[in-house]
Every structure is written in structure tokens, then in C-alpha cells.
């Protein structure tokens, strides 16, 4: 029982991938393209926020559509965009107390894997900031002939999909601890011997208190 799993957005950082992508597009002369994309998705965002539509389902669809904004980029360009998003959005907003705890556990010999709906290259870029050997299980992108097609290679890895992929990654090994912040992280948290909720949304906080799970924030 040596592995720790951690969600990214809301857990390790208060930054958001979509905000980083929007900022990257604005900084690279593509602000109009992103604005058109944003307004096409605005009605769904409003419905989800008002509780008129499933929030997680909308977020997953948004991720699928947002991938299309990066269509046509080569591997090197994808890496550069990912580093930009981490440098300018995700890393500056990192939760230092949580990262410090995870790094202490790594020093004790634990294996750390980041599990997130975030696109795989962006998750890998964040993982690299945490040191050699930190692994990443994000939403994979479809690349053909060295060029990103704008499509995902499989479903967005949130909720049950995230837990399923983590289970395959563990190959029967028990999970020592898991860190998450929202209800979609519940399937992953339930895999762990020691579930830890980080600045949780209200429904997850209530559940964590009922189950006597550790709460940070």
C-alpha cells in the first residue's frame, strides 16, 4: 500500500485549465475564436450553475469541445501550450499546504499519481513541477501523424471514469490515500484506505464528516 492519488483542480490548485487555455488564446492572437466558443457554451454553463442541468455532465462536454481549440497542434506545440497554462494559471494558484504534505509523503517513499479530467499534457506539465517520478492520469488526446486531431481518446476522466482508470493503473495494489475536493472525486476517494477531502464543496464536506474522513480546509 504505497500509492497516493490526488485530483488537480480544486485540490492541488485553485486555478482552472479552461481559464489557462482562454488566457493562452488571448495572448496568442486568438481571443475572438475563444470568445465565440465561450458564448456558444454560455447557455449550458448558466443552466448548470442554476441547477437546471447536470453540472458534471456539462463540464465533461465542455472539456470535449474545448479540446477542439487545440486541433492541429503538433506534439511540441501541445507541450508548449501545456507549460504555458501551468506556468500562468495552475501553478501560481497552487495549494501550498497540500503540496507540502504530498511532497513529505513522497520523501517517505510513497508513489504519487495525479488523477484528473484535465488534458493529459497539461496534467503531465503540472506533475513535472512536483519532481521526478510523479505520474499523471489525465484525459488523453487523440494524436495522428504527430498532430492533435482536436478529439479525445476516450471519455473525460472524471467521476467513475477516473476511478476506473486509477484501478487499472494500480493493478490490484491497494491505494494508501486519495485527495479530492468535489463529489465527482468520490469514486476515487472510496478506493483509498485514507480518503482526504480538500476544501470540499458542501455536499462532499457533509459526506466526509458523516464518514469521519479527514478534511483539509
Q: How far is it, in rounded angstroms, from Cα 103 to Cα 109? A: 10
**Which residues of the chain have a pLDDT value below 70?**
1
Q: Name the grid cell of 101.
A: 504534505
Would you give the DSSP letter of residue 15?
-
| pLDDT of 45 | 77
Whole-angstrom Cα distance, residue 179 to residue 31?
35
Three-state secondary structure call for residue 85: helix
- Residue 188 CA, distance from chain mean position: 13
Query: Per DSSP, what are the bridge partners of residue 6?
Result: 114, 179
pLDDT of residue 1: 66
Closest-CA residue to 114 (of 160, 59, 182, 179): 179
| CA separation for the pair 4, 14 (Å, rounded) | 20
pLDDT of residue 24: 95
Q: Which of 78, 68, 85 is nearest to 18 (CA)?
A: 85
Cα separation, 17 vs 67, whole angstroms: 11
Domains, the chain: 3-216 (3.40.50.1000)
pLDDT of residue 56: 73
119 closest CA partner among 74, 159, 85 = 85
Amino acid at each position: 500500500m504505497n500509492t497516493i492519488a490526488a485530483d488537480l483542480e480544486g485540490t492541488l490548485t485553485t486555478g482552472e485549465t479552461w481559464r489557462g487555455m482562454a488566457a493562452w488564446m488571448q495572448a496568442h492572437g486568438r481571443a475572438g475564436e475563444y470568445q465565440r466558443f465561450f458564448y456558444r457554451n454560455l447557455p449550458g454553463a448558466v443552466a448548470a450553475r442554476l441547477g437546471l442541468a447536470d453540472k458534471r455532465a456539462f463540464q465533461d462536454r465542455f472539456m470535449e469541445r474545448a479540446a477542439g481549440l487545440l486541433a492541429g497542434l503538433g506534439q511540441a506545440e501541445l507541450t508548449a501550450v501545456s507549460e504555458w497554462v501551468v506556468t500562468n494559471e495552475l501553478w501560481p494558484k497552487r495549494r501550498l499546504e497540500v503540496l507540502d504534505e504530498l511532497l513529505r509523503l513522497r520523501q517517505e517513499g510513497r508513489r504519487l499519481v495525479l488523477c484528473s479530467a484535465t488534458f493529459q499534457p497539461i496534467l503531465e506539465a503540472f506533475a513535472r513541477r512536483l519532481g521526478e517520478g510523479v505520474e499523471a492520469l489525465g484525459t488523453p488526446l487523440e494524436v495522428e501523424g504527430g498532430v492533435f486531431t482536436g478529439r479525445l481518446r476516450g471519455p473525460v476522466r472524471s467521476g467513475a471514469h477516473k476511478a476506473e482508470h486509477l484501478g487499472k493503473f494500480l493493478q490490484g495494489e491497494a491505494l494508501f490515500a486519495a485527495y479530492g475536493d468535489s463529489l465527482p472525486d468520490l469514486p476515487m476517494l472510496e478506493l483509498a484506505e485514507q480518503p482526504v477531502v480538500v476544501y470540499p464543496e458542501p455536499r462532499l464536506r457533509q459526506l466526509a464528516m458523516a464518514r469521519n474522513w479527514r478534511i483539509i480546509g
